């Protein structure tokens, strides 16, 4: 059974590119367009990994992460923050409950170590 990754990203082009990369590695991909939707999708699907954009409409990624971490499934799923702001938000992301932060734009070279660390067994 393929591992599932939830992509929480408001830009469709970024989601599509990331989805392509993940599917290339054999992962099943679920998408959310904002933080509120990410929380809902997480609660329904329990993915194996969440790639969480930090700057999204309706609910930002930090708030969505805190909401997920305060749910009954709080410690189950690794959440990796994805940010165009570089490592400036690293400490804030970790305090919110993210396991790590990677910079945008994502490419194969930055994605593979994350997949190996958090999801590939």
Token pair, residue 95, equals 């305090």
Q: How far apart are CA 35 and CA 17, in angstroms?
A: 19
| DSSP states of 61-114 | HHHHHHHHHTSTTTTTS-EEEEETTGGGGHHHHHHHT-SEEEESSP-HHHHHHH
pLDDT in tens, the chain (121 residues): 789 999 999 999 999 999 999 999 999 999 999 999 999 999 999 999 999 999 999 999 999 999 999 988 766 899 999 988 877 889 999 999 999 999 888 888 889 999 999 997 5
Domains, the chain, in order of start with CATH, read 4-118 (3.40.50.2300)
Q: How far apart are CA 57 and CA 53, in angstroms?
A: 10
Q: How far apart are CA 121 and CA 104, in angstroms?
A: 25
């Amino acid at each position: 059974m393929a591992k599932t990754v939830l992509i929480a990203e408001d830009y469709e082009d970024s989601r599509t590119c990331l989805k392509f990369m993940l599917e290339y590695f054999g992962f099943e991909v679920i998408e959310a367009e904002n933080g509120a939707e990410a929380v809902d999708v997480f609660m329904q699907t329990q993915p194996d990994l969440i790639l969480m954009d930090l700057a999204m409409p309706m609910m930002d990624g930090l708030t969505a992460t805190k909401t997920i971490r305060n749910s009954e499934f709080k410690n189950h799923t690794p959440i990796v923050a994805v940010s165009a702001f570089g490592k400036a938000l690293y400490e804030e992301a970790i305090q919110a409950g993210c396991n790590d932060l990677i910079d945008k734009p994502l490419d194969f070279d930055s994605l593979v170590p994350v997949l190996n660390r958090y999801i590939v067994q």
